[in-house]
């Protein structure tokens, strides 16, 4: 076990994650918080659920590993997940919790991947349902993780390409605030685009 500095993150639903500093710093938002001196206490992320934060940590861990060219199968980043009762929001150590060491899913082939296979890994990573894609893009925007923002934005764009206007509204949960006349006027400006 290396003696790297660990950063503690707390999701909106109270789950605690401990990650290596290098992994946490994939997020520019967290990086700035660390630089401002908050790295020694629990960093709350009230906009990110535990489920999504878990996935994001998986993404960042993978990319840090690829950058450091780690090819050892046995080195899995460990994530300490503590189930806590949401009584108070204290940035200090919480007592009376069960400590479970949860390992991120280790796909042997994935960890062994050459850097050029990272695009394939990314493609598999983002191959999720629509609502997860949206949660990822919102969270990665908040956490300012450019690579993940671009990946999820591209996935959503690819999914949107052939959809109709109504379908797009449904996906984004948008209310149509045009009157029928207004909408008709806009459509007529580029009527050929709707064929």
| Residues in touch with other proteins (CB under 8 A) | 28-29, 32, 36, 134, 137-138, 141-142, 144, 149-150, 153-154, 156-157, 160-161, 164-165, 168-169, 172-178, 183, 186-187, 189-190, 192-194
CA distance 37 to 31: 10
Q: Is 173 left (phi over 0), alpha (psi -120 to 50) or beta?
A: left
Can you give the C-alpha Rg of the chain in angstroms?
20
CB of 4 to other proteins, least distance (A): 24
CB of 111 to other proteins, least distance (A): 28
Look-up of token digits 């764009």: 157
CB of 105 to other proteins, least distance (A): 27
* Token representation of residue 135: 């949660």
Q: Which of 150, 154, 105, 156 is nearest to 131 (CA)?
A: 156
CB of 22 to other proteins, least distance (A): 19
Nearer to other proteins, 127 or 178 (CB): 178
Nearer to other proteins, 29 or 78 (CB): 29
| CA distance between the termini of the chain | 60
């Amino acid at each position: 076990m290396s003696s790297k500095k660990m950063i503690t993150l707390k999701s909106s639903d109270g789950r605690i994650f401990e990650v290596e500093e290098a992994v946490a710093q994939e997020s520019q938002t967290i990086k700035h918080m660390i630089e401002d001196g908050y790295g020694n206490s629990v960093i709350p992320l009230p906009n990110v659920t535990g489920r999504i934060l878990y996935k994001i940590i998986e993404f960042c861990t993978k990319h840090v590993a690829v950058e450091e060219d780690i090819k050892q199968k046995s080195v899995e980043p460990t994530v300490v997940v503590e189930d806590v009762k949401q009584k108070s929001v204290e940035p200090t150590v919480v007592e009376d919790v069960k400590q479970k060491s949860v390992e991120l899913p280790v796909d042997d082939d994935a960890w062994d991947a050459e850097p050029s296979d990272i695009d394939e890994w990314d493609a598999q990573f983002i191959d999720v349902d629509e609502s997860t894609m949206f949660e990822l893009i919102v969270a990665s925007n908040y956490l300012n993780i450019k690579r993940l923002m671009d990946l999820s934005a591209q996935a959503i764009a690819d999914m949107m390409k052939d959809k109709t206007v109504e379908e797009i509204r449904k996906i984004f949960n948008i209310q149509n605030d045009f009157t029928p006349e207004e909408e008709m006027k806009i459509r007529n400006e580029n009527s050929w685009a709707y064929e």
